[in-house]
Every structure is written in C-alpha cells, then in structure tokens.
Structure 1
Amino acid sequence: MAHLDETGTLIGADKVSGTSVYNAEGENLGAIHDIMIDKKTGRVAYAVMSFGGFLGLGSDYHPLPWSALTYDPQQGGYVVHLTREQLEGGPRFGENEAPQWGDRDYEKRVHDYYGIGPYWM
C-alpha cells in the first residue's frame, strides 16, 4: 500500500520532524524534533523544537504551542514570531529529561511564557 505523507493541506507527522523553524527575519532557529498530539481531541498541541547544540549533539528541546507556528511554503519551514533570545529563555528540557506532559500547571506555564492561550480551552 502506498504511503501518502503530504497533500496541499495535510502532512504526515513523520514529515514534520526535521522541518526547519525560522523567526520572522528568516533566521534558522532550529528544527521540529517531534509533535505532541492530544489523544482525546486529536489536535496537535505542541511542536517540540530542537534548539542549540552542534550537529544535533547537546541540543535542548523547547515545547512550543502548535498555534505559535505558521508554515511558510516559500521557506519550506515553520515560522515563529519569537527572537532567539525569547527561545533561549523559554521552557526547555534536555535530551535525558522528561517534560511534564499532562501536568496542566506545567503546560500552562509553557503557554503563559509565549503569551498563547492553552490549546485545551
């Protein structure tokens, strides 16, 4: 069976992983490492962005509310209206750490940092 992983408006999760993330000025900030989907609603809740490090080593992972990203077909990646400094100061976790998914207080802090309402409201 053929695997269709992209149409004009839909994309497979496996294709999102590795997609570049840019700021509004076109600076490459990192890449999508993974996406988190709400099991009950089926909505994409977060993009987990890899940021920093060298050649993928020593990267931190930054949970971004999915609604903070906009796909830009001209750049072939996602755009966030954040500066590098805002990302550096934002919520993050290391390669060997587990974020507190499912803890609404943790998730609310992520949304509050970026000034975006929680996806579950």
Structure 2
Amino acid sequence: MDYQDRDADGVYVDTGHHGPGPDLMGAGTVIGDPVRNLKGEHLGQIREIMLDMRSGAIAYAVMAHGGVFHLGAKLFAVPWQALTLDPAHKGFTLNIDKQRLDEAPGFDPDHWPNMANPAWAAQIHRYYDHSTEQGSGLS
C-alpha cells in the first residue's frame, strides 16, 4: 500500500503542483512507504516521522532496514533532507549504497537514541552528507 492508497480523504489531487508528488502530505500516509537507492535497490521502509517541535519542521524519517516483517530490522534516522519523494515508485529515494547503509549509525527498535542530542544529530547529518542540519532545528 502506498501514500495514494492511504489517502482515505482524497486530499492528494493533482492541482498543477510544481514538484514531484503532492505539495502537502499527511505524515501517516508515508509510514510504510518503501525507500530505494538511486540504483533502484530496496533499502527499507519509512517506520516513523520525527517532528522538531521547536521549528515545526520534519527532522528525520526513521527507516527500518533488514529483518522480516519488522523482526530483526535495524532502524536508521535519516535526515528528511536526504530523502526525495519518488512518485513513480510510490516511495522515496535515498542516495546511498546498500553497503554504506549497512555501516550507518542505526539503533535497535527497543533502544531509541536521544534524537534531540546535538552531538548525535551532528553525527547523523555528517553521515548522510547533511552536516548543515538546516531545517532540523537541532543545534
């Protein structure tokens, strides 16, 4: 099921927007969307959206990678700016090789990091080549 299938209210009507996909989307509609790399390889699924409550911006998409039906999956906080909506494939793209993702800082679903910690945020943004932390509100 993709974001268009989860649009029970019919709000994602093409009204001549200027970007890929709709101009606005509900966070719940992207939960479960697939993430692929630029080679088209499946990397994982969006599991959660983390909002920066101070700035109102999306800080991270938490992506599940590996495992079967969320069992044994590792989670990764991917800076929102690192993802690109891919309406053709009803998901997102992330410019990273599978091997580099396997080596990325991740966490166990039962032990989430303190994502508000500036040192943790800087490490994540550096890893995904977004060290400016622009829009994350974390500094």
Q: TM-score, normalised by structure 2?
A: 0.80
Unpaired stretches in structure 1, ≥5 consecutive residues: none
Q: Which residue of 2 aligns with 1:64?
A: 78
Structure with more strand by fraction: 1
Q: How does 1:1-121 map to 2 (within 5 A)?
A: 3=9, 6-7=12-13, 8-116=22-130, 117-118=132-133, 119-120=136-137
Partner in structure 1 of residue 5 of structure 2: none
RMSD: 1.6
Q: Secondary structure at the match of 2:67?
A: coil
Distance 1:28 1:5, change over 3 A: farther
- SS of the residue corresponding to residue 67 of structure 1 reads helix
**SS at structure 2 position matched to 1:53:** coil
2:115 aligned partner, one-letter code? W
Question: In 2, Cα distance between the equivalents of 1:4 and 1:42?
Answer: 24
- Is the contact made by 1:6 and 1:12 (CA closer than 8 Å) also made in structure 2? no
Percent identity, please.
34
> Secondary structure in 1 aligned to 2:88?
coil
CA apart distance, 1:100: 1.4
CA contact 1:60–1:92 (8 Å) conserved in 2 = yes
User: Gaps (5+ residues) in structure 2?
Assistant: 1-7, 14-21
Q: What amino acid is aligned across from residue 13 of structure 1 in structure 2?
A: A
- C-alpha deviation, 1:6, in angstroms: 3.8
TM-score after normalising by structure 1:
0.91
